[in-house]
Amino acid sequence: MIAVLLVDLGLLLGLVGILSVVKPLRLLGVRTRRAGAGLLLAGIAIFATGELLPAPLLALPEERGSIDDFVPACQFREVHEIRIHAPADAVFRAVKAVTAREIRFFRILTWLRSPRISAARQDILAPPADRPILDVALQSGFLLLAEDAPRELVFGTILCGRLPRVSRPEPKDFQELVRPGFCKVAMNFRLREEGDGFVRLTTETRIFALDAASRRSFAAYWRVIYPGSAFIRRMWLAAIRRRAEDTRSACLPELEVFTRPVDRALTPRV
């Protein structure tokens, strides 16, 4: 996380420096172009420091899930969670059904991550608006690794360097891959019932680089895109909550229709 903060701070200072070289931003206390140039150099230095920091193995929680069967260790990780007032089955269905249109800013942020002028092949970075995101991912380079409904769903891919995906393996091949030059990427959605009709939905992303060169290459990429990636994950969870809770609300009138006659029948006459 320190590396990500340094990269972000370096980018911010660099941007302010560039603008101040053109025209000093006096509102920010930058009164001369020389000061702007100093900020630019400081931003470059801080950015480079963040990019060059090592990426050691991360400590993972003791509680195991299906994702641990495929990426039990990693150098890069992000975790987000949300509380949803809906049955676990409805939440799990929403995980599988939510579309790009329902995820706020999804298509804008993925385009910024991978800009394209012409029509692109449909994949997770350029999905059609009304197809489930998971369906698009699983048909464009990602592999369903495990599904334990309604508790956990795990999918992943293998990257060569940072972006190009290799041909899709089988789950066993994914587990056993040790070839240098590749990164294993796994992402899950995990549900935990909390009582009173609430479910806690967690999504975790793990990346394990299989050699030092891949680790350095992916670190440089990850530390730049992490803020946007984290924002997408949070919007993704929010879209799942809206869909699951809307489904629950839509079912309530039907439940009332079936329960009212029973209530009258059970009410004793005076």
Q: Tell me which of 66-75, 89-98, 183-192, 245-254 is least confident.
A: 245-254
Burial class (CB in 10 A: 0-12, 13-18, 19+), 256: exposed
Tell me the HSE value of 10 on the side-chain side, using a 13 A CA sphere: 19
Say which amino acid occupies 222. W
8 Å CB contact between 68 and 186: no
Instruction: List the single range of 6-15, 132-141, 158-167, 241-250 with lowest mean pLDDT.
Output: 158-167
pLDDT per position as a tens digit, 211-228: 999 999 999 999 999 999
Pull the structure tokens for residue 128: 């059609």
- CA pair distance 113, 4, nearest whole angstrom: 16
Positive or negative: CA dihedral 46, 106, 58, 186: negative
Higher pLDDT, 270 or 175: 175
Q: What is the CA radius of gyration of the chain?
A: 23
| Confidence band for 269, pLDDT divided at 50, 70 and 90 | very low
Residue range 87-116: mean pLDDT, rounded: 86
Q: Which CATH architecture has domain 66-253?
A: 2-Layer Sandwich (3.30)
Q: What is the pTM of this model?
A: 0.85
- In sequence order, what are the residues at sequence separation of 6 or more whose Cβ sits closer than 8 angstroms to the Cβ of residue 173? none
Three-class SS state of 252: helix
pLDDT score, position 172 = 86
Helix (H, G, I), strand (E, B) or coil at 85: strand
